Amino acid sequence: MKRIEIRKPDDFHIHLRQGELLKMTVPHCSAYFSRAVVMPNTIPPIDSASTLEEYRRQIVEIDPGFNPLMTFKLLKNMKESDVRALKKAGAIAGKLYPAGATTNSTDGITDWRDIAGLLKVMEEEQLVLSIHGEDPSVYSLDREKAYIPEILEICRKFPGLKVVFEHLSSAEGIQAVAEGPDNLAGTITVHHLLLTLDDVIGGALNPHNFCKPVLKGPEDRKAIQKVVLEGNRKFFFGSDSAPHSAAKKQEGAAGSYSAPVSLALLAEFFDGCGKLPMLEDFVSRFGAEFYGMPLNEERIELAEESWIVPEAYGEVIPFFASKVIRWIVKN
Amino acid sequence: MKRIEIRKPDDFHIHLRQGELLKMTVPHCSAYFSRAVVMPNTIPPIDSASTLEEYRRQIVEIDPGFNPLMTFKLLKNMKESDVRALKKAGAIAGKLYPAGATTNSTDGITDWRDIAGLLKVMEEEQLVLSIHGEDPSVYSLDREKAYIPEILEICRKFPGLKVVFEHLSSAEGIQAVAEGPDNLAGTITVHHLLLTLDDVIGGALNPHNFCKPVLKGPEDRKAIQKVVLEGNRKFFFGSDSAPHSAAKKQEGAAGSYSAPVSLALLAEFFDGCGKLPMLEDFVSRFGAEFYGMPLNEERIELAEESWIVPEAYGEVIPFFASKVIRWIVKN
């Protein structure tokens, strides 16, 4: 039986949600990840030092050993002093959601030029800019591609600002980051790495694989897998784990709850490609290096051992529910 | 208020289903259509003179004034004598489902060359070949395109066989029919005419717009609309109305129940494009001419008058449920 021990990973993009869901998501995340970049699209959003501090308090109360990397949501009416206060309160990144692009984003930004002053302050304060890179005004399969020029212009205009193109889903997005400036990197989810749109609409409709950006075609998945397996350090893991209640899923909400399965699935993927030794860089090194953070010292062990993903955690149906994964995390 | 009177239309592709559903689908269809080509993918399938006669009996019992145009499902183990018997029993077309392409098609045909003998008999017997033109082995958005060479080869090999490329969904499929041989025509559904894949996955997931072939992009829809609005007689209406119980939809079944709304939506579409006088050819002429049938003499009146589609018919949620349609059929 194969085994591997690696630095405990980081998840550079996660939705921990609120209330009852938080009590489930925090332990599921902290079991596998030392740190996680916590997305700010709560209701109401994390948009001030006080809301950030309160959200962090709630997270750490559930698991005092977990290290949440806090973010805030960029809003049109935000002041530059708010950004500085958020930095002081411990924010490491600000998230730009184009208005209407995804869950809880109706209050997002229509044009990033409207918040250029805030981006300038973020550059000064060494805050990372995290971007949901989709233009929601175009056809869904073209939304990521359509947003690339915006991201490249932001990178040019703010050369000292680190920019993360989140949850890359298209060959064009991958290429833009790979060939883009040094201040641009990208996160990759386990669902975009492993699946295509066929896993949503190819057979029976599967709402549990429905996420934003929507899964793309085989050529896009191939491009994603290629940069990951090459060990390109501009690409690192961010799960975009995004649980919804059964009721929300019933209403068509986008998002897969991958936190409990993503690390095991990544081990299976790397091993299946004969690249198991490269897993550690993707999940435990490249992201920390881009963000400028020390690597984790804690270690975690994985083994080639099959298990069946539960059909549900409470009322949340996880990614890969009821399926077999051939690797397991040994806690 | 605008009004128009036209020959009562035909629906050249409909799923009437069985049992309790049949009691709903037949009146909904016969209210708007004099005749309809009834798809044979029941369980068990319509594959013999006796099953065809029994299915027709059940349909006509519900509405003796309705004229169902019966079809059969091509199966690998079918004999040439079966095809001749089906013709004698009143079949007008045989349906080729590539195995695995859609609802109840696991018993479909892997390679049409396996049934070339049956196709030859169909050609002799002047039976129309109706094809679900998708290659299920490739990426969902490419399946129709991938099947085009097969259809063109069938047309070449059996020049006396009339072939219908059903429920066209892609620009490539439209082009293949438009530029294809004279023995090839295509049906167009109201959902492929009006919607794109964004109406399934572009916002919240919408299972009621999920159908096979899956809806495609804006350029595909534009190509579909173009041939319809040009009055190209190789393209005619087939609703592919395909109701499912709430339980089946919950399991991800593909299909929209459009029978109760399709004619009103078509009137709205043609009128919105300033082409209302062209509606009649699309729904009441081109299909009958291709099939070689007399035009209907009965007439039907439509008026520009708004109504709200019911949220459900029994447990079936119809296409355009709860939405406003600006045209209505006056019975």
> In chain B, which residue's Cα lies nearest the Cα of A134?
B202
Q: How far is A213 from chain B (nearest CA, A)?
A: 9
For residue range B227-247, list pLDDT tens digits in order. 999 999 999 999 999 999 888
B261 CB-near residues (< 8 Å, 6+ apart) = B190, B309, B318, B319, B320, B325
DSSP state at residue B125: T
Sheet holding A3-7, edge to edge: A3-7, A299-308, A324-330
Helix B49-62 to helix B80-88 angle (10° resolution) is 30
A46 CB-near residues (< 8 Å, 6+ apart) = A40, A52, A55, A70, A71, A72, A73
B101 pLDDT higher than 80? no
For residue range A206-246, list pLDDT tens digits in order. 999 999 999 999 999 999 999 999 999 999 999 999 999 88
What was the pLDDT predicted at A59? Answer: 98
B104 pLDDT higher than 80? no
From chain A, pick out residues whose CB is under 8 angstroms from the CB of B139: 196-198, 202, 217-218
Contact residues, chain B to chain A, C-beta under 8 Å: 139-142, 196-198, 200-207, 210, 214, 217-218, 251-254
Task: With respect to residue A222, please indicate whether it lies within any of the assigned structural domains.
Answer: yes
User: Whose CA is closest to A271, among A229, A216, A236, A322?
Assistant: A229
pLDDT confidence band for B305 (50 / 70 / 90): very high
Give the residue numbers of A marked as catalytic. Answer: 240
Question: Contact A205/B210, CB-based, under 8 Å?
Answer: yes
Task: With respect to residue A245, please indicate whether it lies within any of the assigned structural domains.
Answer: yes
A103 pLDDT higher than 90? no
Number of domains in chain A: 1
Token pair in block for residue B30 = 């016969």
Question: Contact A252/B205, CB-based, under 8 Å?
Answer: yes
For residue range B47-58, list pLDDT tens digits in order. 999 999 999 999
Task: With respect to residue A310, please indicate whether it lies within any of the assigned structural domains.
Answer: no
Which of A104, A105, A106, A140 is the best substitution to test chain B (most B C-beta atoms within 10 A)? A140
> In chain B, which residue's Cα lies nearest the Cα of A215?
B201
For residue range B247-280, list pLDDT tens digits in order. 898 889 999 999 999 999 999 999 999 999 999 9
Token pair in block for residue B2 = 């605008």
Please, what is the average pLDDT of chain B?
96
For residue B47, give the amino acid letter. D
From chain B, pick out residues whose CB is under 8 angstroms from the CB of A251: 204
Catalytic (active site) residue B47: no
Identified catalytic residue from B82, B135, B240, B271: B240
A247 pLDDT higher than 90? no
Sheet holding B3-7, edge to edge: B3-7, B299-308, B324-330
Token pair in block for residue B128 = 């129309």
Could you give the percent of chain B with pLDDT greater than 90?
Answer: 94
DSSP state at residue A170: S
pTM recorded for the entire structure = 0.95
What was the pLDDT predicted at B241? Answer: 98
User: Whose CA is closest to A70, among A85, A80, A55?
Assistant: A55
Query: Is residue B4 within 8 Å of B276, Cβ to Cβ?
Result: yes
Give the ipTM of the model, two decimals please: 0.95
pLDDT confidence band for A137 (50 / 70 / 90): very high
Which of B105, B134, B201, B214 is the best substitution to test chain A (most A C-beta atoms within 10 A)? B201
User: Whose CA is closest to A190, among A306, A95, A316, A327?
Assistant: A327
A57 CB-near residues (< 8 Å, 6+ apart) = none
Can you spell out the DSSP letters for B65-93? T-EEEEEEE--TT--HHHHHHHHHTT--E
A307 pLDDT higher than 90? yes
For residue range B121-165, list pLDDT tens digits in order. 999 999 999 999 999 999 999 999 999 999 999 999 999 999 999
Task: With respect to residue A319, please indicate whether it lies within any of the assigned structural domains.
Answer: no
Q: Which domain holds residue A100?
A: 9-295
CATH number of the structural domain spanning residue B54: 3.20.20.140
Between the alpha carbon of residue A299 and those of residues A59, A268, B31, the distances in Å are 22, 18, 70
B102 pLDDT higher than 80? no
What was the pLDDT predicted at B242? Answer: 97
How many contacts, defined by CB atoms under 8 Å, are there between A and B? Answer: 60
Task: With respect to residue A312, please indicate whether it lies within any of the assigned structural domains.
Answer: no
B83 pLDDT higher than 90? yes
Task: With respect to residue A317, please indicate whether it lies within any of the assigned structural domains.
Answer: no
Question: Contact A141/B197, CB-based, under 8 Å?
Answer: yes
Question: Contact B206/A252, CB-based, under 8 Å?
Answer: yes
A129 strand-pairing partners = A94, A163
Token pair in block for residue B275 = 């082409």
